[in-house]
Every structure is written in C-alpha cells, then in structure tokens.
Amino acid sequence: MSFPRALRSEFVRLVRSPLVFAHLACALAGGLACGAYFAVAPWDASMGADAYVQLLGAMMPLMAGIVCGLAVDEERRAGGLANLTAVPSRRIAIAAKGTALWLMGFLALAFAVALFAVILAAAGKLALGAGTLVLSVAGLAFGSAPLYALMTALALRFGRNVSIGVGAAGLVLAFFSVGGLAHGLMTGELTAVGSGLLGLEPFALPTRLGSLAIEGALASAQGQIEVVSQVGDAAMVAGSLCSVVLVAALAGLFVWFEKFEEGRSYA
C-alpha cells in the first residue's frame, strides 16, 4: 500500500461524491456574487478583494468541519470505516483521505478567487497582480491544512455534528481575529496585520495568511514601506505557527488513529 495509490483511490471515489458538486457550487456562488458586487459597488475594489479573501478564509473552519464530517459519514455507510481501518497502513489511508479532501478545498478556493478576479478584470477594477492572487490562494490553502486534520479526527471520534459545530465556532473566531466581517473594507484598515493574539489561534490562520498576501500588495502600492515590513513579519509568524500546528496535528492524528476502534454509530 503506497500513498500515491491510496490517494488515487480516494479521488476515484470522490468523483462520484456529492462533495465535488458542493465545492463547485460554493465556489461558483461566492465568486459570482462577490465579484459582481464589487464590480459595481463604490468600495475600493482592492480592499474588496481583501474582504473577500478574509471571508473565504473565515469560512474554511466550517467548510472543513462539514466536508470531513460528511466524508467520514460516507465511509461509515460504505462499510463501517473498513476502507480506513482494515488496510495494511492506517496512516497512509487517513493521510490520503485528508489530503484528497484538502486538495478539493484548495481547488475550490482557487476557482472562487479566479472567478472573482475575472469579473473585476472585466469591469476594469482589478488592480492586483496574478502573483498576489496566487499567493493569497496558497495562504488560504496552507492555513486550512491543519483544520482538515483536526476535523477528520473530530468526525471519527464524535461524529459529523461535533466537527460541524467546532467549525462554526472557528468561523466566528476567525471573523473576530480581523475585527469582524468587512471591518477593513469599511474602515480602510489592513486588519490582518494587526489582529493581535486572536490572530494566532488555528482557526484564524486561513484568513490571515490569505489576507496578508493582499495587504502586502496594497501597502507596497501605497509606498508604505514600514507596513510592508510588518506584513512580512506577520506572515512569517503566522506561517511558522501554521507549520508547527500542521505537524503536531498530523502526528497526533496518525498516532491516535493507529489505536482507533469504531465503538458505535454516529448520527
């Protein structure tokens, strides 16, 4: 049993899963709605892009909770988690499952940001470069990675309702870390830079890492060299923290899942 083969098997099964269409629908709805709004709204489109990326990042704890919860439910219905537990390597199996779900989220984020950018560009209001947008998507995806490990463990141990509930709480904390929904858009502040201690909790990492890429470009365009330096420092701290949390989450998941036993059905 190898990781590439296990991952390929996960993708074959995901093709038939409604989770693919759910990701596509969410990305399409978000990109179209927000792109169309900021294409005609009087707000600064670049600050609008920052607010949009923060929205996507804040949604990732809930998205991970829902996706992981439903995916584990599918495994239970398909054979009592046999595809994850009755295999030569549980670690490879759970790693492939989590990686496939995370990659699906990454593709949805990329599509949502690309669609948003295309609509702004068509309206002549896109001032951010492709490199900035790519870096922002990378920050969103990287910051989300530990959440998939956490939500997978919660769904396995407690069921989908707990993983979704924790994800919903994470969404609220993520919004608080940047001062609330669209706070920077209304005040003109670069809120991901100065989010304080609340910005260091794991649920805020997708929001901050995605937003910092945008805010760094905004500060650079405005010639705010000191702010650019602050953005770089904040990104380094958040990125390092995310790396540590990801390694710890994966290590904990692998060790725990080796001894996991399915004890009951989960609703």
Please name the residues in contact with 8: beta carbons below 8 A apart, sequence gap of 6 or more. Answer: none
- Total domains in the chain come to 1
Looking at the domain assignment, is residue 175 inside a domain? yes
Looking at 140-154, 172-186, 234-248, which range is the least confident one?
A: 172-186
pLDDT of residue 263: 60
Nearest C-alpha neighbor of 149 from the set 197, 105, 182, 198:
105
Top pLDDT among 181 and 259 is at 259
Confidence at residue 267, expressed as pLDDT on a 0 to 100 scale: 46
Do the domain assignments include residue 263? no
Region 241-264: mean pLDDT is 90
Cβ proximity of 113 and 59 under 8 Å: no
Is 265 domain-assigned?
A: no
Give domain status of residue 266, yes or no.
Answer: no
Render pLDDT for 31-55 as a digit per residue (tens, 0 to 9).
999 999 999 999 999 999 999 999 9
* Residue 150 Cα distances to 144, 147, 222, 232, angstroms: 10, 5, 39, 27
For residue 105, pLDDT beyond 60: yes
At residue 265, the pLDDT reads: 46
Position 28 in a domain: yes
- Using the predicted structure, report yes or no on whether residue 195 has a pLDDT greater than 80: no
| Average pLDDT of the residues in 204-214 | 95
For residue 264, tell me if it sits in a domain: no
Domain of 138, in residue numbers: 3-258
DSSP code string of 121-181? HHTT---S-HHHHHHHHHHHHHHHHHHHHHHHHHHHHH-HHHHHHHHHHHHHHHHHHTTST
Return the minimum-mean-pLDDT range out of 8-17, 39-48, 257-266: 257-266
Q: What is the mean pLDDT of residues 63-88?
A: 91
